[in-house]
């Protein structure tokens, strides 16, 4: 028992050091399960204690990080953000400039950045702005989900209710030829959608981000701050705020809030914030 407590505390310390993620107190079972899975994945023969020592020395760190991230996501999650982006944020940007730059800061398996791309293409079409120079940067710390996202192949059920009426999957995905099942099959993101996106590995806990100040018109940071303590959430929010343009929009997840940024933003809707003042 004492050994297990020590093991769990080592995992927490290591995970915090490598990613900034703070695991809640009730995650003991999850820690043990994930460590065991990790041991099988990397083919390690020793006990979990020795595996952790190896990770502390620098071995298997990527696999360790990938095992402890939570990647739950789906297309058009919190749809009202995409509606707001299509009907308010993007038309305003289209009036001022000929390019749009968007940052998706915890992109997981790709459903969120591809939903952003579908929203952008739809808004460009609706506003007669097809030839804009648009780009989306999508980052995550987990190399496995980045690999999956770059591949852009998803299992699709015809009963799927994630897609809004204005985004038909057939406009943005090709059905894989080898799919025989009529109600469930694989779909692949079309090249014209993929072309908008660049996937990169990045740790939100890094002290600075590889972007210019005010580089992005829109920043998505959804359902990731919840894994950090409040002090670190504030640090991340401030770094994201630096790369967001004045007047740009920040979308946060349903149980997240702008914390120290509150005096510098205007609330436009449920977890939708527009930057109104620079933070110095």
Ligand X SMILES: C[S@@+](CC[C@H](N)C(=O)[O-])C[C@H]1O[C@@H](n2cnc3c(N)ncnc32)[C@H](O)[C@@H]1O
Q: Which residues bind ligand X (CB under 6 A)?
A: 19-21, 69-73, 77, 106, 108, 112, 140-142, 145, 203-205, 222-224, 227, 253
Q: Which is nearer to ligand X, 79 or 126 (CB)?
A: 79
Q: Given the structure tokens 């927490």, which residue do they identify?
A: 12
CA distance 167 to 118: 7
Query: Of these residues, 12, 39, 84, 140, which one is catalytic?
Result: 140
Cβ 78 to ligand X shortest distance, Å: 7
CA distance 150 to 269: 31
CB 85 within 8 A of CB 218: yes
Cβ 227 to ligand X shortest distance, Å: 6
CA distance 225 to 257: 9
Is 277 among the catalytic positions?
Answer: no
Cβ 100 to ligand X shortest distance, Å: 19
Is 34 among the catalytic positions?
Answer: yes
CA-based torsion, 254, 259, 262, 265: positive or negative = negative
Q: Which is nearer to ligand X, 115 or 132 (CB)?
A: 115
Q: Which is nearer to ligand X, 89 or 219 (CB)?
A: 219
CA distance 51 to 44: 7
Q: Which is nearer to ligand X, 156 or 227 (CB)?
A: 227
Residues belonging to the active site: 34, 140
């Amino acid at each position: 028992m004492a050994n297990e407590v020590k093991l769990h505390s080592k995992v927490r310390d290591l995970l915090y050091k490598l990613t900034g993620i703070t695991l809640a107190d009730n995650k003991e079972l999850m820690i043990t399960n994930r460590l065991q899975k990790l041991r099988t994945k990397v083919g390690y023969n020793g006990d979990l204690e020795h595996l952790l020592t190896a990770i502390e020395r620098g071995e298997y760190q990527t696999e360790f990080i990938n095992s402890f991230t939570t990647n739950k996501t789906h297309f058009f999650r919190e749809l009202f953000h995409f509606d707001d982006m299509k009907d308010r944020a993007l038309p305003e940007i289209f009036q001022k400039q000929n390019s749009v730059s968007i940052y998706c800061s915890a992109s997981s398996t790709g459903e969120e950045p591809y939903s952003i791309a579908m929203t952008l293409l739809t808004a460009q079409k609706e506003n007669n702005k097809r030839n804009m120079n648009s780009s989306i940067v999508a980052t995550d710390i987990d190399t496995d989900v980045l690999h999956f996202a770059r591949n852009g192949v998803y299992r699709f059920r015809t009963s799927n209710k994630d897609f809004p009426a204005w985004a038909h999957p057939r406009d943005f995905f090709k059905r894989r030829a080898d799919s025989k099942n009529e109600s469930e099959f694989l779909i692949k993101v079309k090249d014209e959608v993929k072309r908008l996106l660049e996937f990169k590995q990045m740790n939100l806990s890094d002290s600075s981000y590889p972007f210019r100040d005010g580089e992005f018109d829109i920043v998505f940071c959804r359902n990731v701050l919840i894994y950090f303590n409040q002090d670190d959430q504030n640090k991340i929010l401030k770094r994201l705020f630096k790369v967001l343009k004045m007047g740009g929009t920040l979308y946060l997840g349903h149980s997240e809030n702008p914390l120290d940024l509150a005096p510098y933003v205007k609330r436009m809707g449920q977890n939708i914030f527009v930057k109104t003042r620079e933070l110095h």
